[in-house]
Chains A and B, each alone.
Chain A
């Protein structure tokens, strides 16, 4: 059991954290025919866009209200109005996902009120959903922004509906899941004869497909129509502790019961997920899934030699950190250093003495002598300096191919992760790295 504490520095050195608005906008990218937008100065969108393009290797639709010094003084309502009208005229999205930033929130802008007034003035916006997520960048990080956008989507689009669809389940997907993870989750749910509504669904929009024409919005993702129907589902599966508040909102409003799965990597966590699907669908577990479970058990037996008592340093956002550190602990490794971005209840599960709310500099300080380091791409230089094998996990991953297709949930994903990390340990044991020479 970990207790999370701040690093006590006045200067953040080599940031681990990305901003809340970037996380919020990325979640909105999992809605179909959506144009995400930051209500901020244009540079906020430009920086975020560069990161997203480099991570997903995709053209990313992303706009800005282009706040200036003068409009900051006068108030941002006019910019917000112009931006929405311009976007609807040019790109005809089904939905515009608006994330605020620190500039707007510190001014105390009444964005909900602004949106109401804008709608009243512009009947042509009637067919476009407008969602506003409050995401100041002086609070929280990417994961918090993602969670805020999902909660805002439910709050602003989902109404109670009569009747239950006993085959329909809601899946609220946290930001620690890749498009490949979501595909795996969907296939598994469908194998039980259930129809999932996955929110947000970046497996549709950011999975690296080549469309036949140019579209100025997202292509693929959760449709507004499906979101509006979520109140009829028989269950909500919240994937990641970050999704629990949004799931509880749905439960309170529409009476859909909630199951929270704080992690889906590892044998027992995925067993729980499969058991829940069997319970909800009232169907037996399909043979193909049982077979993959057996493959994972075999991989654990083959792999445990190389994980046992290995020292691992991880820096990641809370839910990703929880998932990876628990999995490594399950395989016999020791988490010697854990660094994360913000304080959340999930951190209590991290199997490490302490969790530091800090930066990659804290990771560097704590990782000396470790057998493996895990972080997003900015951690690569840290690992290089220390001569420690490095595994990329989280956002952004800009210096390797296939970030969107990295699979680490389910029996198959866990099996592949055992092989990938196990091979790093084997290579490290080959005398390539001074830090593992003693093994």
Chain B
């Protein structure tokens, strides 16, 4: 069954990476080059599946495997909840040597039963891992039995780490949503302005910077998939009028198949930076009107955009002079590779280069067009080279994730978190304000001059 799903994803027609591949390359897998032993970095498919599904806040997420998979990773992602907290409880079968020898299916069933009895969640997601996949534990069978006996959706997530990279796991999780969740319940009411956001995980509250805008426009967010989600909202997402895909590659299979099954048109957009936020709001309004929403939505959207853009400009006016001409190095991936460039350029900053890991050809084209001749696109930038650039003062600040944070700091260069582990929301107009204020705060801290001063006895 896994083989079937995998093959299916490699053939995903909307995936730019797939389109670009010859048939032989397509068989090899998703997510770019195969991994090089001894020179690889990044998360696995299980990690990706967790990123997509764990933000369903009222569900229990049970990891079937030895302690490493959950013990080393639980409660480390900052997808926030406005209500239920069960998703932050780490559940694992923590397999022992005997379980590996005799099989872990019985223990898994008992674990599911204990969780349902104690927490009574609306659903349990059960994650397969490498070891349990290898010893042949049939988690789909156990989940089916549990669903029947416990009268509760118990959903197998078959994305063991060794089948591919993080990106691939997000797609496998998308398939799980399509197969077991989306479309299994009907909403009580629908409106002509119902939308879903796909690939928005409410990292540090990103979603909450956007939902007030929707509210003011009378747009109803049927489901964010899966930021701050409740299980029973995701089941009804198939009645939306428009899907916005927020993180380019991650859930493209979900967007396309929802269009195929339920005729929901979709577009890819971003809420990073003023220009992209305005553009995304315009696109949503236009697509909703095309599908029968009241035409006045267009006018109201323009009015909101004008007000918000003026507000952002006013709030940021005092700090923009200090940002002007400052050079940033972006080490991110996917849609952020171009949407963050636009946000920085809007503030008058210069981007000397960006990584385009995990980015589609389309992402790369956009990034390249924005950078012009003044910046470089890197497929990968080894830490040694990144360090050399920062040490040489080629950039004033590094925007990246936690794993490269200390490359910047050890080069005595300002750094700001732009990844999913960050603690601040950067989406929407308020997020843009926070984003640029954050950069300003990092650049203007007085420590930089001090730590770069050699001691007086070294002349």
Please report A residues at the B interface, Cβ cutoff 8 Å: 9-15, 17-19, 21-22, 37, 40-51, 53-54, 57-59, 63-69, 72, 79-80, 82-87, 90, 101-103, 106-107, 136-139, 141, 210-211, 214, 216, 378, 381
Contact of B66 among A43, A68, A86, A136 (CB under 8 A): A136
Contact with A along B162-174 (1 / 0, CB 8 A): 1111100000000
- For B73, give the chain A residue with the smallest CB separation: A47
CB distance from B383 to the nearest CB of A (A): 7
Contact B42 A106 (CB under 8 A): no
CB distance from B331 to the nearest CB of A (A): 13
Contact B35 A42 (CB under 8 A): yes
Residues of B within 8 A of A65 (CB): 37-38
* Complex: A68 Cα to B73 Cα, angstroms: 20
* Complex: A50 Cα to B404 Cα, angstroms: 10
Residues of B within 8 A of A9 (CB): 114
* Complex: A253 Cα to B43 Cα, angstroms: 41
Residues of A within 8 A of B71 (CB): 12, 15, 17-19
Contact A10 B412 (CB under 8 A): no
Contact with A along B63-87 (1 / 0, CB 8 A): 0011111111111100000000000
CB distance from B165 to the nearest CB of A (A): 8
CB distance from A12 to the nearest CB of B (A): 4
Contact of A138 among B72, B89, B111, B131 (CB under 8 A): B131
Contact of B62 among A11, A47, A106 (CB under 8 A): A11
Are A11 and B93 also in contact (CB < 8 A) when A43-B44, A47-B73 are? yes
CB distance from A185 to the nearest CB of B (A): 26
Contact A69 B111 (CB under 8 A): no
Are A11 and B114 also in contact (CB < 8 A) when A47-B47, A82-B36 are? yes
Q: Is B445 at the interface (CB under 8 A from chain A)?
A: no
Residues of B within 8 A of A141 (CB): 67
CB distance from B404 to the nearest CB of A (A): 8
* Complex: A27 Cα to B348 Cα, angstroms: 47
- For B37, give the chain A residue with the smallest CB separation: A83
Residues of B within 8 A of A59 (CB): 383, 406-407, 410
Between B36, B113, B407, B412, the greatest number of chain A beta carbons within 10 A of the residue's beta carbon is seen for B36
Are A10 and B107 also in contact (CB < 8 A) when A42-B42, A53-B402, A86-B36 are? yes
Residues of B within 8 A of A18 (CB): 67, 71-72
From 108 to 154 in chain B, residues with beta carbon under 8 angstroms from any chain A beta carbon are 110-111, 113-115, 130-131, 133-135
Q: Is B45 at the interface (CB under 8 A from chain A)?
A: yes
CB distance from B34 to the nearest CB of A (A): 8
Q: Is B403 at the interface (CB under 8 A from chain A)?
A: yes
Contact of A64 among B37, B67, B133 (CB under 8 A): B37
Q: Could you show 11 A-B contacts with beta carbons less than 8 Å apart?
A: A11-B92, A11-B111, A11-B114, A44-B68, A45-B40, A50-B402, A59-B383, A63-B40, A82-B37, A87-B39, A103-B131
* Complex: A14 Cα to B70 Cα, angstroms: 9
Residues of B within 8 A of A66 (CB): 35-38, 40
Contact A68 B162 (CB under 8 A): yes
* Complex: A72 Cα to B44 Cα, angstroms: 15
Contact B95 A138 (CB under 8 A): yes
- Give 6 closest A-B pairs by Cβ, nearest first: A43-B44, A83-B38, A86-B38, A19-B68, A83-B37, A11-B111
CB distance from A121 to the nearest CB of B (A): 15
CB distance from B254 to the nearest CB of A (A): 22
Are A69 and B97 also in contact (CB < 8 A) when A11-B92, A47-B43, A378-B74 are? no
CB distance from B323 to the nearest CB of A (A): 27
Contact A10 B131 (CB under 8 A): no
* Complex: A218 Cα to B343 Cα, angstroms: 37
Contact A10 B114 (CB under 8 A): yes
Are A210 and B37 also in contact (CB < 8 A) when A15-B90, A17-B94, A103-B130 are? no
- For B6, give the chain A residue with the smallest CB separation: A69
Contact B41 A68 (CB under 8 A): no
Contact of A137 among B39, B66, B410 (CB under 8 A): B66
Contact B38 A22 (CB under 8 A): no
Residues of B within 8 A of A381 (CB): 75, 88
* Complex: A11 Cα to B109 Cα, angstroms: 10
* Complex: A80 Cα to B38 Cα, angstroms: 8
Q: Is B7 at the interface (CB under 8 A from chain A)?
A: no
Residues of B within 8 A of A216 (CB): 383-384
CB distance from B117 to the nearest CB of A (A): 11
* Complex: A112 Cα to B130 Cα, angstroms: 23
* Complex: A43 Cα to B100 Cα, angstroms: 20
Q: Besides the contacts A139-B96, A211-B410, what 10 more A-B pairs have beta carbons closer than 8 Å?
A: A10-B114, A12-B90, A15-B67, A42-B44, A43-B46, A49-B41, A63-B38, A83-B37, A138-B67, A138-B100
CB distance from B181 to the nearest CB of A (A): 22
CB distance from A107 to the nearest CB of B (A): 7
* Complex: A45 Cα to B40 Cα, angstroms: 9
Residues of A within 8 A of B38 (CB): 37, 63-66, 82-87, 90
CB distance from B408 to the nearest CB of A (A): 10
Q: Is B387 at the interface (CB under 8 A from chain A)?
A: yes
Contact A378 B75 (CB under 8 A): yes
* Complex: A77 Cα to B69 Cα, angstroms: 23
Contact A14 B89 (CB under 8 A): yes
- For A22, give the chain B residue with the smallest CB separation: B72
Contact A86 B39 (CB under 8 A): yes
Residues of A within 8 A of B402 (CB): 50, 53-54
Between B36, B66, B68, the greatest number of chain A beta carbons within 10 A of the residue's beta carbon is seen for B68
* Complex: A97 Cα to B74 Cα, angstroms: 26
CB distance from B169 to the nearest CB of A (A): 9
Residues of A within 8 A of B39 (CB): 63, 83, 86-87, 90
Residues of B within 8 A of A48 (CB): 68, 72
- For A11, give the chain B residue with the smallest CB separation: B111
Q: Is B267 at the interface (CB under 8 A from chain A)?
A: no
Contact A41 B67 (CB under 8 A): no
Are A138 and B99 also in contact (CB < 8 A) when A51-B72, A102-B131, A211-B410 are? yes
CB distance from B67 to the nearest CB of A (A): 5
* Complex: A253 Cα to B97 Cα, angstroms: 30
CB distance from A365 to the nearest CB of B (A): 12
* Complex: A13 Cα to B97 Cα, angstroms: 19
From 257 to 315 in chain B, residues with beta carbon under 8 angstroms from any chain A beta carbon are none
Contact of A86 among B37, B161, B410 (CB under 8 A): B37
